[in-house]
Amino acid sequence: MDEMRTKESRRPANVTKHCGFWDVPTEEFAAWLTARREPPMRARQLRRWIIAGRAESFDQMTDLPRNLRRALAEEFEPLSTRIAHHSQSPDETHKLLLRLADAQSIECVLIQENKRRTACISTQVGCGMGCVFCASGLNGIARNLTSGEILEHLIRLRNLLAADQRLTHIVVMGMGEPLASLDALLTALEIAGSKDGLDIGARHVTISTVGLPAKIRRLADLGKQYHLAVSLHAPNDELRTRIVPTNDKTGLKEILSAADYFFERTGRQVTYEYVLLQGINDSPENAKELGQLLRGRRAHVNLIPFNDVSGLPYQAPTSAALTSFVDQLHTAGVSVKVRKRKGSTIDAACGQLRRRIESENQPPKLHSLEAV
């Protein structure tokens, strides 16, 4: 995993002291060890302590010399994020608001279902895509996360589990557009996927994107088994551009063609996500058009009833509209599922917890939003 560290994974520019261990480039850390006459194997030892040993401080690393532990603590941190808020819902969903070293905050969620332990992680502080119903992008984007910060979501969530439990799945469905921060994400996923990392294989990782065609193609060419989910939300360009403003530049045709390419290259069926907004994209005509669009493709549709976001004027579909939407898709021969709501009592949809906590200090900026 050493080679996986890239320049992009470095700490944010305005953070100079107490750098998170996972964002120190491998060569830089090797040089740091050499300067202190420490063997290179110390790097592996540290990684093992944080990953397998769940250490959150250097002091816990009892087989490291005391001097080394002190020197490490002066410059680095095993985990650079802090838990600013932890909530848990009755269905055992946990949500963490993590404070980053530069005082920004991000969210991640642990979903527990039968034997599955799924981490839902973020890739950016905020989001630049501006989907009109989504809380993450309401205040725009502050920055991409580093690979270390992304990995720390996973470590922090895993540390909530009992000692004999591990994370089994990752969904990149938190804040931000993963394909706009792809290098950092891939670096984090490589470490997460390695045997001496968290051992979560690519087949158990779903990357959800608003649909950036060039990046989808790049992902397809990696030769990895990641699962791709594309957020469609509308069956035609006119409606999609109203809901997903970036569609203006890309258009459905390009996105679907990139998704088809992903399927050809990887053999992995693409999931299309469709957030249902009452009176906007939930009519039987919308469903029929979606069926026509996807007919003949090896595709699966995940319908997501809109999760309330305070201050936004949208509503979930009525149960009759939902049933009829599902029926239309079945009739068109499209595989479809309605996504269950998990953790709705703890603001578990993207960007909601951060938004609520931050709005307790400062009123949200809603004026930049155009209702559809």
Task: Give the residue numbers marked as catalytic.
Answer: 107, 350
345 in Cβ contact with 91 (< 8 Å): no
Write the CB contacts of 345 (distance below 8 Å, at least 6 apart in sequence).
Answer: 89, 90
Min. distance of Cβ 179 from ligand SAH in angstroms? 8
Instruction: Please tell me the distance from the alpha carbon of residue 261 to that of residue 318, in angstroms, as a whole number.
Output: 35
Tokens of 62: 């009892």
Beta bridge partners of 274: 303
Chain-centroid distance, C-alpha 298:
24
Q: Which is nearer to ligand SAH, 173 or 182 (CB)?
A: 173
Q: Which is nearer to ligand SAH, 109 or 287 (CB)?
A: 109
Instruction: Please tell me the distance from the alpha carbon of residue 152 to that of residue 291, in angstroms, as a whole number.
Output: 40
3-state secondary structure of 88: strand
Q: Which is nearer to ligand SAH, 129 or 191 (CB)?
A: 129
For 367, phi then psi, to 5°, come to -65, -20
Min. distance of Cβ 150 from ligand SAH in angstroms? 14
The neighbour count for residue 3, using CB atoms within 10 Å, is 7
Q: Which is nearer to ligand SAH, 78 or 130 (CB)?
A: 130
Min. distance of Cβ 58 from ligand SAH in angstroms? 35
Instruction: Please tell me the distance from the alpha carbon of residue 228 to that of residue 68, in angstroms, as a whole number.
Output: 43
Min. distance of Cβ 229 from ligand SAH in angstroms? 6
Q: Which is nearer to ligand SAH, 146 or 231 (CB)?
A: 231
H or E element at residue 359 = helix 352-359
Instruction: Please tell me the distance from the alpha carbon of residue 61 to that of residue 286, in angstroms, as a whole number.
Output: 57
Binding site for ligand SAH (CB under 6 A): 129, 131, 133-134, 173, 177, 208-210, 231, 273, 275, 304, 306-307, 309, 349-350
Phi-psi region of 23 (alpha: psi -120 to 50; beta: other; left: phi over 0): alpha
Q: Residue 294: which of 247, 245, 259 has the closest Cα?
A: 259
Min. distance of Cβ 131 from ligand SAH in angstroms? 5
Chain-centroid distance, C-alpha 277:
22
Min. distance of Cβ 240 from ligand SAH in angstroms? 12
Min. distance of Cβ 25 from ligand SAH in angstroms? 28
How does DSSP classify residue 237? H
Phi-psi region of 337 (alpha: psi -120 to 50; beta: other; left: phi over 0): beta
For 307, phi then psi, to 5°, come to -95, 125
Q: At what angle do helices 319-331 and 284-294 cross, to 10 degrees?
A: 30
Q: Which is nearer to ligand SAH, 197 or 351 (CB)?
A: 351
Q: Which is nearer to ligand SAH, 38 or 177 (CB)?
A: 177
23 in Cβ contact with 11 (< 8 Å): yes
